Amino acid sequence: MAEQPSNAGPAHTRLWVALFTAAALACAGLWAWAAHALWHSTVPAGLKLPYVDPRSFFSAHFLARSASYERFLDIDAVLREVVLIVVLALYARRGHRLMRESAAGPIGTGMLLGMLGFAVLWLAELPFGLAGVWWERRHGVSHQGYVAAVIEGFVGLGGRFLFVSFALLLAMGLARMIGRLWWVAAAPLFTGLALLSTFLSIYLIPNTRTLRDPATAADVRRLARAEGIPGTRAEVQDVHRYTTAPNAESVGFGPTRRLILWDTLLDGRFSRREIAVVSAHELGHLAHHHPLRRVGWLALFLIPATALIALLTRGRGGLARPEAVPVALFVFVVLQLLTLPLWNIVSRHDEAEADWSALKATHDPAGAQALFRHLATTSLADPNPDGWAYVIYADHPTIVQRLAMVEAWQTRRAR
């Protein structure tokens, strides 16, 4: 009997394509749903920010000076990133030659190449970093010495070496164990580590001490209750040796949740009302679980990023091989740079929610306005930066936007 031509092969392939497409669509849907859930904010959806003229809050001299100050730093940063990409591209192309400097196995050699990649980056960035220090010193924003800046950067490089070694140990280990699909396991693994790091971050911040000032401590207790997170502890970080810029941050979650106030905020330049607004803002981050949400966004970034790294390193035999590490480093850093505007959108979104939360907790729009003006003048922050700089570098709303939000809150309250 003559054999019938079989249609099983193409049908089988079509089935797989359909299944793959369905799975990809499901994953994309899941990704979009998660992004939508993370995007949720307590800032009223239809809130329109009124126009605020910066000249009504700041002198013409300050506006000109701050614009000049930030423009230099922005251009310095852009140039640094251009150089960084060029250097990394060269390293991706030629870095594998440094394998001859290793007597370690594939993973150890991969670690060496990863660390040397960061070392080359540090060397390339150094002139731009020193230019930034010079500019900040010139404007009185920082009094850090050049040698101290270099040494601090060099020592900090050790932390980056440790990070990249650990990351490569995991990624290359997975690539050697499970092959091309290593990224499927790596993304959740790195997310888990980021979660752990967020949980433990309070223990990783140097030079912290308990907040002792009774008035500020009482305000923090009151505001924490108002934000719905009573019992949140506040600590002070000593940074005055390096900078005069004021700042605060919120870290951790659950039992490690902390409000950190820089000692430059408590040196007498800021009023009690202004410090209360800062505290409420940071407590707002904690109340709305922003540290955890940042981990969520990281997970959404890592899934496509690791997949892309896995794809683009195939030409060098995949991440199981050390010669692929320079390429992986290039892809990772370029992805970070390309997605920086997106990260900034997310960050500004969270900051706006924290501002809104602070206004609700303090009921002190005058204090908030005074704070934002004061922050701008002490940090020499341009209240209304250039559009391109805002898109690429602004991870907070501009001072003008923050002042506008205060006005919007007052308008709503008056209704």
Partner 1 sequence: MSEHPIRLVLEDDLERARFTVLLRWLLAIPHYLWLIVWSVAVIFAVIASWFATLVRGRTPDALHRFLAAYVKYATQLYGYLYLAANPYPSFDGGDGYPIDLVIAGPAPQSRWKVAFRVILVIPASVFATTLVGLPGWSTSGGTRGKTSSLGFTRLPDLVLLAAVLGWFAVLARGRMPRGLRDLIAYGISYGAQVWGYALLLTDRYPNSDPQAALADIPVRHDPAWLEVDGVLERSRLTVFFRALLAIPHFVWLLLWGILVFLAAIANWFAVLFTGRVPEALGRFLSAYLRYQFHVYGFLYLLANPFPGFVGAAGSYPLEAVLATPGRQRRWTVLLRVVLGFPAMALTSAFGAVLSAAALLGWFASLATGRMPLGLRNAGMLALRYQLQTTAYLMVLYDAYPYSGPALRGEPADEEPPSAQAISAFG
Only one of the segments 48-56, 98-106, 293-301, 377-385 lies at the binding site for partner 1 (rule: CB under 8 A); that segment is 98-106
Tell me the three state secondary structure of residue 274.
helix
- Which positions from 141 through 160 interact with partner 1, judged by CB under 8 A? 154, 157-158
| CB of residue 125 to partner 1, shortest distance in Å | 14
* Bridging pattern class, strands 233-237 and 258-262: parallel
162 binds partner 1 (CB under 8 A): yes
| CB of residue 107 to partner 1, shortest distance in Å | 8
102 binds partner 1 (CB under 8 A): yes
User: What letter does residue 231 receive in the DSSP assignment?
Assistant: T
Q: What token pair was written down for 287?
A: 């109340």
| CB of residue 126 to partner 1, shortest distance in Å | 12
Per DSSP, the residues of 276-298 read HHHHHHHHHHHHTTHHHHHHHHH
193 binds partner 1 (CB under 8 A): no
> Can you list the alpha helix ranges (DSSP code H) found in 179-289?
182-204, 214-227, 272-287
Contact with partner 1 (CB under 8 A): which of 52, 92, 115, 404? 115
171 binds partner 1 (CB under 8 A): no
Cβ(386)–Cβ(73) under 8 Å? no
* 173 versus 291: smaller Cβ distance to partner 1: 173
Q: What token pair was written down for 26?
A: 């499901």
- Lookup result for tokens 């190449």: 113
Question: What sign does the CA torsion over 388, 393, 399, 402 have?
Answer: positive
* 122 versus 134: smaller Cβ distance to partner 1: 122
* 45 versus 103: smaller Cβ distance to partner 1: 103
Phi, psi of 237 (to 5 degrees): -105, 130
Contacts of residue 393, Cβ cutoff 8 Å, sequence gap at least 6: 74, 77, 340, 344
Tell me the three state secondary structure of residue 236.
strand
90 binds partner 1 (CB under 8 A): no
| CB of residue 336 to partner 1, shortest distance in Å | 22
Q: Which helix (H) or strand (E) holds 111?
A: helix 106-138
| CB of residue 118 to partner 1, shortest distance in Å | 9
**Side chain identity at residue 157, one-letter code:** L
Burial of residue 33 (CB within 10 Å: 0-12, 13-18, 19+) is exposed
Q: What token pair was written down for 125?
A: 């960035």
* 110 versus 367: smaller Cβ distance to partner 1: 110
Show the site string, 233-262: x = touches partner 1 by CB under 8 A, - = not.
------------------------------
98 binds partner 1 (CB under 8 A): yes
* 52 versus 107: smaller Cβ distance to partner 1: 107
Only one of the segments 103-111, 278-286, 326-334, 367-375 lies at the binding site for partner 1 (rule: CB under 8 A); that segment is 103-111
Q: What token pair was written down for 39?
A: 């995007």
| CB of residue 258 to partner 1, shortest distance in Å | 26
111 binds partner 1 (CB under 8 A): yes
| CB of residue 191 to partner 1, shortest distance in Å | 22
| CB of residue 162 to partner 1, shortest distance in Å | 5
341 binds partner 1 (CB under 8 A): no
101 binds partner 1 (CB under 8 A): yes
Nearest to 205 by CA among 144, 244, 160, 262: 262
* 119 versus 292: smaller Cβ distance to partner 1: 119
Nearest to 234 by CA among 277, 274, 202, 199: 202
161 binds partner 1 (CB under 8 A): yes
| CB of residue 152 to partner 1, shortest distance in Å | 13
Whole-number Å distance between alpha carbons of 159 and 208: 19
276 binds partner 1 (CB under 8 A): no
**Side chain identity at residue 23, one-letter code:** A
Number of residues interacting with partner 1: please give it, by CB under 8 A: 23
Whole-number Å distance between alpha carbons of 317 and 303: 21
Residues that bind partner 1 (CB under 8 A): 98, 100-105, 107-109, 111-112, 115-116, 119-120, 154, 157-158, 161-162, 165-166
